[in-house]
Chain A
């Protein structure tokens, strides 16, 4: 579902721009199309315009330019309460003066559902988030995780087709967050709803989503499935933002067949896959994941370039070893090796050679 035609998309942003102050664009030329049932995450550093996009979709902010479509219909002029979009807020926004059950009843009451039906739906929604016994409590009497579940139940109880979540797990501790990530994706898939999920936590984005839109500077830097995003970042921002990443600066020497030879600043040569460099002589930022660095020369391809490295630090982390090296004059080159019985444990001061498959090493924009 990588590419979807905007015509048949359920949610579509078309050339959307947004400015709050008339001077700077917070969202610059946003284009996005989502099919029904997709779980899409907007990932990006704080201030990159994610919330703004979500608010425009929900109707709380108006787009300065461009069109937002829901189910093929432009919704720019539909007020938020008529859009029928469920929403989970970062601080949950549970109404403090109402009990949990009243909170859940609220969207049903404003839709004038009969009482019996209302109660049935509330009960089912509470059961769905395993909070069946908490109907009579006030939000303040619940823990953070429980409030989170109620907020989720409230956003779902009136059966919206589209649910927006703005950093809903931001306030939870790690363990609870991981558990809720699992529950939310599970629910979304069971109910078949379309979800736009906002987070600045890349692990969350990778584990939960069908597709991730990486935001920076008001633009989508890359929109792709998690594995694609991780393995083939399209620019240096995405490469550095997602996962751990080693970068080396250099100049493209020549582009031969599929691969480019890059001359690092200290004169060493390496092979890379050119992603957004095309001309010899271009400056480039070479990116390589720590777990793709090979320290075992036999495992490398014939004729592959290798680099000299000095071990600076060895950290035992249980499942993996994390080693910091000095490579091409940089002190922050990290490699990760699996804790296998035959794995070498490097010692600080040791001099080794490292290398990698050219496919794992990507030459990006500098």
Chain B
């Protein structure tokens, strides 16, 4: 302290020229910042008297518009290819229209049924299921629903497939009764003459809408109409959309009022013929379901009521009513139980009821190893839980990969930033080499390296480090995945690190050493803290890439080294459970966002530097 202490007091008294103090004063002002001008009252005015802010905004508007026009293509591209799929995924993870679209009447009939009472649903539900299932089976959509419900309750798929096959024969006796009564009942013309007329358009429209939803037919919005108009000008008109297909048939309002079930069933038949078969009702006799519906309608009417009906073929209808009195009404319940005795239990009904709403938490519950039970959501049995473990494993392995990348990448980045240009360029090529090699090739190369008869094991055996019968298992497990993915993601760590290190002049380390720090202290206290933003950027990149990685774990991961993304891919391409895949994807997205948020809180995203 000798010199400083003796000079300290003198410094204060040291002759300082006036401009020195002046200089210090101006420096202070400069550093303190606040400008005097801002304290003035009222807004600043431009030369023409408008507020300065306003005229500035006006001046900048054209510039902003031009900038917007320049980025518009990219903006639209990003919206279409990035935001839209994510939105679609989020929607799919809760979307559950299929039950309601396929079984609309059943869903409605079950709405009032108490699933927990232990009683079977009322007869009306069986009847509703019959009419729903008949149409679905004709359109071959019932298996899709069975598959969907199978995710929630195994056995639903075969139940629907089997009953879909049998449903044609339900009420066979009653149908035959009608057909035997008069041959005309089997003729399409007879049905047309009986049912056609005017005033029943609403029923036809409802049937058409229902069928479009059942068959997932795309409809064309106003934009599509405009497009087709343009195409038409060039002689390439669009195909007629389902909503515009001509049914070649109009329904009588009187008939629909008196025979509502029949009208509905016949309308569905008409829509099906026109849209699916591209024919009309004139080309075929109606479905059995129409006969069954007529049977139900005739039974619901008293003879007096029917006597009052004066529509076409009223005589034939009265004759049919009289004849049908001889056969018992169709017993839907018995027919379903005969087709599959599961229909006599509460389970399938409960499943339909639970998944009837258009939106469901079911996929998400599934994705976190839970299920819906009578007492609300609950964890699945221990041995059925897989996704929690997979998420944990994915996070753990991604962290391991990130750390390995930091450990291996840091020295390389340091060398890149500090070697002479020529050597650094060569090293850079080595770092970038993986980018120029197919991902599949790189991953397969690891397979060759790591397998039990592979290069590494051979070398270890040759060196005598492991016995020939004790070869290490380094592939098809977590180790293999971590090694291969660290290698593949390493450039994403090195590049941001390198670009940050490049901006750190060597004079910092020199300054630290000249101040008395050992090389290690200088590194720890001066160099390393300045590279933290690079580590942050690299870690975020590597971690987020790793957490969603698919190909590499698929190839080298075996069963214990796979990621959640492999499961997602399985549900998308094999089990076709897109809802669950979307739910898993959404959770992954949320996890990443939460981690990103936490990272921002702890490290601060401003501290992340990808370059300069």
Q: A interface vs B, CB < 8 Å? A: 58-60, 79-87, 89-91, 93, 95-97, 106-107, 110-111, 117, 121, 124-125, 127-128, 130, 134, 137, 141-143, 145-146, 154-159, 164, 175-176, 179, 182-183, 186-187, 190-193
Chain A residue nearest to B10 (CB atoms) is: A190
Interface residues of B in 1-15 (CB under 8 A from A): 1-5, 7-8, 10-12, 14
- Which residues of B sit under 8 angstroms from A146, Cβ to Cβ? 27, 31
Using known A-B contacts A183-B20, A186-B14, A191-B4, determine if residue A110 contacts B515 with beta carbons closer than 8 Å: yes
- Which residues of B sit under 8 angstroms from A96, Cβ to Cβ? 530
B505, CB-defined interface residue at 8 Å? yes
- Which residues of B sit under 8 angstroms from A93, Cβ to Cβ? 505, 507-508, 510-511
Residues 584-597 of B, flagged 1 when their CB comes within 8 A of A and 0 if not, give: 00000000000000
Using known A-B contacts A106-B525, A110-B516, A191-B4, determine if residue A179 contacts B19 with beta carbons closer than 8 Å: yes
Using known A-B contacts A91-B505, A96-B530, A107-B516, determine if residue A121 contacts B23 with beta carbons closer than 8 Å: no
Count, chain B residues at interface, CB 8 A: 38
Residues 336-348 of B, flagged 1 when their CB comes within 8 A of A and 0 if not, give: 0000000000000
Residues 478-520 of B, flagged 1 when their CB comes within 8 A of A and 0 if not, give: 0000000000000000000000000001011011111111110
Partner of A128, one of B11, B19, B529: B11
Report Cα–Cα, A125/B515, bound state, in Å.
Answer: 15
Report Cα–Cα, A230/B5, bound state, in Å.
Answer: 37
Residues 517-533 of B, flagged 1 when their CB comes within 8 A of A and 0 if not, give: 11101100110011000
Partner of B510, one of A80, A107, A124: A80
Report Cα–Cα, A86/B14, bound state, in Å.
Answer: 23
Partner of B516, one of A84, A128, A143: A84
Are the CB atoms of B516 and A111 closer together than 8 Å? Answer: yes
A-B contact sample (10 more), CB < 8 A, given A121-B1, A127-B8 = A87-B511, A89-B511, A90-B507, A91-B507, A110-B515, A121-B4, A128-B4, A145-B23, A146-B31, A164-B514
- Which residues of A sit under 8 angstroms from B4, Cβ to Cβ? 121, 124-125, 128, 156-157, 159, 191
Report Cα–Cα, A19/B286, bound state, in Å.
Answer: 102
CB distance from B59 to the nearest CB of A (A): 32
Partner of A127, one of B12, B30, B513: B12
- Which residues of B sit under 8 angstroms from A137, Cβ to Cβ? 31
- Which residues of A sit under 8 angstroms from B30, Cβ to Cβ? 143
Report Cα–Cα, A190/B4, bound state, in Å.
Answer: 9
Using known A-B contacts A106-B517, A128-B8, A146-B31, determine if residue A159 contacts B507 with beta carbons closer than 8 Å: no
Using known A-B contacts A143-B30, A190-B7, A191-B7, determine if residue A158 contacts B515 with beta carbons closer than 8 Å: yes
Partner of B3, one of A87, A106, A192: A192
CB distance from B513 to the nearest CB of A (A): 4
Chain A residue nearest to B527 (CB atoms) is: A95
Report Cα–Cα, A154/B4, bound state, in Å.
Answer: 13
- Which residues of A sit under 8 angstroms from B612, Cβ to Cβ? none
CB distance from B204 to the nearest CB of A (A): 75
Are the CB atoms of A80 and B513 closer together than 8 Å? Answer: yes
Q: B interface vs A, CB < 8 Å? A: 1-5, 7-8, 10-12, 14, 17, 19-20, 23-24, 27, 30-31, 505, 507-508, 510-519, 521-522, 525-526, 529-530
CB distance from A50 to the nearest CB of B (A): 15
Residue contacts A-B, CB under 8 angstroms, 25 given: A80-B514, A81-B514, A81-B515, A81-B518, A86-B515, A87-B514, A89-B511, A90-B507, A95-B511, A95-B526, A106-B515, A107-B516, A107-B517, A110-B516, A124-B8, A125-B4, A128-B4, A143-B30, A145-B23, A159-B1, A159-B3, A176-B23, A182-B20, A186-B14, A192-B3
- Which residues of A sit under 8 angstroms from B525, Cβ to Cβ? 106
Are the CB atoms of B510 and A89 closer together than 8 Å? Answer: yes
Are the CB atoms of A127 and B518 closer together than 8 Å? Answer: no
Partner of B512, one of A90, A106, A125, A155: A106
> 4 smallest A-B Cβ distances: which pairs?
A107-B515, A93-B511, A87-B514, A93-B507
Are the CB atoms of B11 and A127 closer together than 8 Å? Answer: yes
Chain B residue nearest to A120 (CB atoms) is: B1
Using known A-B contacts A91-B507, A159-B4, A192-B3, determine if residue A85 contacts B23 with beta carbons closer than 8 Å: no
CB distance from B198 to the nearest CB of A (A): 83
- Which residues of B sit under 8 angstroms from A124, Cβ to Cβ? 4-5, 8
Using known A-B contacts A142-B31, A179-B19, determine if residue A58 contacts B510 with beta carbons closer than 8 Å: yes
Are the CB atoms of B24 and A130 closer together than 8 Å? Answer: yes
Using known A-B contacts A95-B508, A110-B521, determine if residue A81 contacts B516 with beta carbons closer than 8 Å: yes
Are the CB atoms of A182 and B530 closer together than 8 Å? Answer: no
Using known A-B contacts A143-B31, A146-B27, determine if residue A179 contacts B20 with beta carbons closer than 8 Å: yes
- Which residues of A sit under 8 angstroms from B3, Cβ to Cβ? 159, 191-193
Are the CB atoms of B31 and A141 closer together than 8 Å? Answer: yes
- Which residues of A sit under 8 angstroms from B512, Cβ to Cβ? 95, 106
Report Cα–Cα, A154/B24, bound state, in Å.
Answer: 19
Are the CB atoms of B11 and A190 closer together than 8 Å? Answer: yes
CB distance from B502 to the nearest CB of A (A): 15
Are the CB atoms of A81 and B11 closer together than 8 Å? Answer: no
Are the CB atoms of B27 and A145 closer together than 8 Å? Answer: yes
Are the CB atoms of A81 and B519 closer together than 8 Å? Answer: yes
- Which residues of B sit under 8 angstroms from A141, Cβ to Cβ? 31
Report Cα–Cα, A187/B20, bound state, in Å.
Answer: 14
CB distance from B214 to the nearest CB of A (A): 65
Report Cα–Cα, A85/B24, bound state, in Å.
Answer: 28
CB distance from A100 to the nearest CB of B (A): 12
Using known A-B contacts A125-B4, A191-B3, A191-B7, determine if residue A97 contacts B513 with beta carbons closer than 8 Å: no
- Which residues of A sit under 8 angstroms from B526, Cβ to Cβ? 95, 106
Report Cα–Cα, A87/B516, bound state, in Å.
Answer: 11
CB distance from A52 to the nearest CB of B (A): 13
Are the CB atoms of B521 and A97 closer together than 8 Å? Answer: no
Report Cα–Cα, A179/B518, bound state, in Å.
Answer: 35
- Which residues of B sit under 8 angstroms from A89, Cβ to Cβ? 507, 510-511
